[in-house]
Structure 1
């Protein structure tokens, strides 16, 4: 008695499945809202007596929110290092820097970006950044070189972003220039980005 009913229900299942919206041909909606990102790339300083530092690893973590389809705000924490670039003077008769020519740079910045569409799900993203920096060891000044320096920074950047077909994930790449106000040190970071939007 129950077998014909079960057979009829099973026969109708493919029809019910076909009535659902097919995934093919449905345009992907780019997800916007709260996001996190992780970036790893290279970092260097310019200026100084050696003109530029050796490239070092740069790590950046961030959280933010897409205010609209075009405007994004975030807070980013970055860590880089300047290697072999003297921002003081050489000791008399030597090529030895009077202060440390190797130091780490920590950034805590508020960033704003504007997404300019270039193609479907592909954007050019100019950015502004401002915040605080911490240098350890101290490359300039007259105090104890072992004492870290804290100062404001301001920067501009340009990047690209692609909202992948994999929901939640965007990838991109940025070039960010920041100026350390006080010791007057220009810094550059170049890094790919991986962004997850909730």
Structure 2
């Protein structure tokens, strides 16, 4: 081997070492970002039951914060607001189709949320969840205490939901959609919220 061939062989050996030590072609396995997060949700809301069977669909807004305890389990707190339109829960006045109390009322929810992330495929998760908290109804659609019918009332609620979450290619951002059913204990009102969501994980 002459001098020029020796130099060429050494050059190839030196250049090949970094290439072999580099990132493999298939890349690094995707890991979703977990930790403290906020989410914003805007969708539709309606109640079921009552004299009118169901209310007209209304706008629903929900804002939340939370923390991912593990890759699969998350805890959060959410404030949501919707309205029940044209659904009477107090019954009609005798001989008429006029609701005894208001058949249009707002519902404000303050809930604790526990979610589980079930991986369906890369970046896509099914997210069943449990919620519980308090609801404010204004004005009162039912009057269990026979007091001022124009006042607002508060009552506990509990519910279940399911949705999906997609971890986008933009770091920190996830998108998805949820269906959430809640039962207000006392007034005995069931509500549904259906909404897309945008989640930012810090």
Which bracket does the TM-score occupy, shorter chain normalised? 0.7 to 0.9
* Alignment pair present for 1:70 and 2:72: yes
Structure 1: runs of 5+ lacking an equivalent: 1-17
Secondary structure, counterpart of 1:95 in structure 2: coil
1:77–1:109 contact (8 Å) kept in structure 2:
yes
1:160 to 147, 161, 164: 164
Distance 1:186 1:112 in 2: 20
Displacement of 1:30 after TM fit?
Answer: 1.2
Note the alpha carbon deviations across 1:5-43, whole angstroms, 9 max, x for none. xxxxxxxxxxxxx99979983443311000000000000
- In the other structure, the counterpart of 2:105 is 103
- In 2, distance between residues paired with 1:70 and 1:168? 17
Q: What is aligned with 1:171?
A: 175
In structure 2, distance between residues paired with 1:102 and 1:78: 17
Q: CA RMSD in A?
A: 1.8
Residues 21-76 of structure 1: per-residue CA shift (max 9 Å, x gap): 79983443311000000000000000000000000000000000000000000000
Other structure's SS at 1:94 match: coil
Closer, same or farther in 2 for the Cα pair 1:45/1:28, shift >3 Å? same
Q: CA separation in 1, counterparts of 2:147 and 2:49?
A: 21
| Partner residue, 1:15 | none
- Counterpart in 2 of 1:9? none
Cα distance 1:114–1:148, how it changes in 2: closer, same or farther (>3 A)?
same
1:52 aligns with 2:54: yes
| Length, aligned pairs only | 181
- TM-score, normalised to structure 2, is 0.85
Q: Output the CA distance in 2 between the equivalents of 1:192 and 1:130.
A: 20
Q: Structure 1 stretches (4+) deviating beyond 4 angstroms? A: 18-24
- In the TM superposition, 1:1-198 aligns within 5 A as 25-141=27-143, 142-198=146-202
Q: Is the 8 A contact 2:30 2:122 kept in 1?
A: no
- Structure 2, unmatched stretches of 5+, are 1-18
Compare 86-95 and 35-44 and name the one that shifted more.
86-95
Q: TM-score, normalised by structure 1?
A: 0.87
Structure number, greater radius of gyration: 2
Question: What secondary structure, in the 3-state scheme, does the structure 1 residue paired with 2:127 have?
Answer: strand
1: CA distance, partners of 2:167 / 2:106: 33
Alignment check: 8 A CA contact 1:64 1:73 kept: yes
